Amino acid sequence: SILNTSRLDIQSPAKTKVVRFQLDYNLESLLLDFVTEKDRNLYQNLLCQIRTVGQEIRDDDLTQLLREARGCISILDTNFRLFVQVVLILRWAHRSDEVVVEYKGFLQELCSAHNYYTKQVIDHLVSSFKFDNEEWKDSQPTDESIKCFNNIHHVIKSILSLIPMSKEILITSLKKNYPYMKKSSHEHETYVYNMLKIIDYIPTMREEILKIIITKLITLDTHSPRAELESSMQEQSEQQAEDIFEIDNCEMETEIPDFAETHPVAHSLDISLTLIFKYIREYCYPDGKTIDNNRTKSLYLDMFKVFEAVILPTHAIHHVQFLMFYIVGIRPPLAVLFIQTLWKKVSNPNEALFIRQASVFYIASLLSRAKCISINFVQEMLNEISKWANNYISRQEESLNFDFGLHRIFYTTCQAIFYVIAFRYKELVQGKGLVLLQGLNLGKIVTSRLNPLKACVPTVATHFASVARKYQLAYCYTIMEHNARAALPRVQRDSAGVEIVQEYVLDAFFPFDPYLLIRSYEFIIPNYREYSGSTEETSLPSIADEDDEDDFLDATFQQMSCSPNFSYSFSPGLSTDKRALINS
């Protein structure tokens, strides 16, 4: 037996040692002696020696150990869990072909003969996704990394084939082993890459795997606040300007900046989203050029289920939802289907209130931002939404007044109408479009006793009022001025006696406001519409908050000529700075 004579070198900082397996029995005899309690020390010494040598074990010694282990698979019951665990600790995927063949065979035969080891084996394989020391360029693994990961996936695929019920174990393991938020970006990158590779050979698990990834990315997204990213981008922009100034008259190459140093969590999010965008593109364009409509539709349906389950109910995330923006942009009919499905949720009174409200936010933002959506469909949706709003008003008693809590969906829907019109009015008034706008009965909505302008985000109300006055759609300023004078916050006490100030204004959440992640931004650009500016009017009534720094509001009062942003973030959008960084 090789266990009698093998020599395993260990490298230590102090000196080089030689460790020998000095055993009088082959592995099977050693294991049997342990079970019968004839000699337990040899087995324990073997475990200690393997753990001591660890990753420094030579390929030929590991090969022989695995061969002998395969020869006694039948006796490796629960008494030898520790032996199996010690063998699983050894990294093997990067080793010689002989080691890889023996290791694969050992794992497959072990799970086949003793299925209670399946969880332990799958956990080991999944955790191996995170072990990669090679740096990737443009989210593309090296040839060596691909070879190692392919070896791991081959074993997973074979185990799932042998034990179909192990799919549940795999899903649980993928959740459990997902890198913690603050782990390195490369660890996130390798893990997401390998989760997507599993979909290639087990397509039936795609929805579950995407749900795991996206759920984890939402955590990264919520820990990457827009204000922090904008501040980081501003600092990088200023630093680049200083560097260029210092090295004036010198040519230098500038790399596209990212958040690797300034905001590692955002950098991990950026890299992970890049991998998913690439997966979507490669799946929908199997030959790299022509879209496969059936594949695209099937992927969209899985993505929408994940969207319904984890993205739609999550408030105020900034980037993960752009996965849906990207896939519907690949095939415009999907954008129509997406919006129509969301509108059914809004129209359904049995849906949860927060789901209906979030659906309105997504409809308004997508109608405004997506280039793939034709102006004809925008007009159709405006007609549908305004008809719903007018019918809602007609159903209410004449005595009803403003009630933010009771009519929240109505106010959210009205704000969506105002937002889309203010954003795309230049296209909406072309040709017969103005007649269609005038037929929306906006005057009835605006002057309703429910007073929707009072609940709107001030920037939305201001821009809509400007457009409505110019094209005589409705006159809003008298109402807005009255609302401004009567805008007194309501103070209440909760059950603990703490004062709560309630302000009756809708959340400034528009899911497709400017995208700030730099690496994955390239996937968003082709279908993304920037705000093209306000109306020509410059003298608007001073009803807006003078301290509001929103770029959209700045565009109204300052008439910015360079593609101003239509963004309702709580701090100013910096996508202009981002473009400057990318182009520098």
Global pTM reads: 0.84
For position 11, what pLDDT does the model report? 35
Considering only 2-6, 369-373, 411-415, 456-460, which range has the smallest mean pLDDT? 2-6
Nearest to 436 by CA among 483, 356, 380: 380
510-537 pLDDT, tens digit per residue, is: 999 999 999 999 999 999 999 876 655 4
Rounded-to-integer distance, Cα 128 and Cα 119, Å: 14
Per-residue pLDDT band for 402 (boundaries 50, 70, 90) equals: confident
Q: Of 143, 57, 147, 46, whose CA–CA distance to 100 is shortest?
A: 147
Q: Which residue has the higher pLDDT, 402 or 308?
A: 308
Bridge partners of 558, per DSSP, are: none
Note the pLDDT tens digit of each residue in 158-170. 999 999 899 999 9
At 251, list the tokens: 């040519």
The span from the CA of 447 to the CA of 421, in Å, is: 17
Q: Tell me the pLDDT band of 19, cut-offs 50, 70 and 90.
A: very low
Instruction: Indicate the average pLDDT of the chain.
Output: 83
Structure tokens at 465: 């009022």
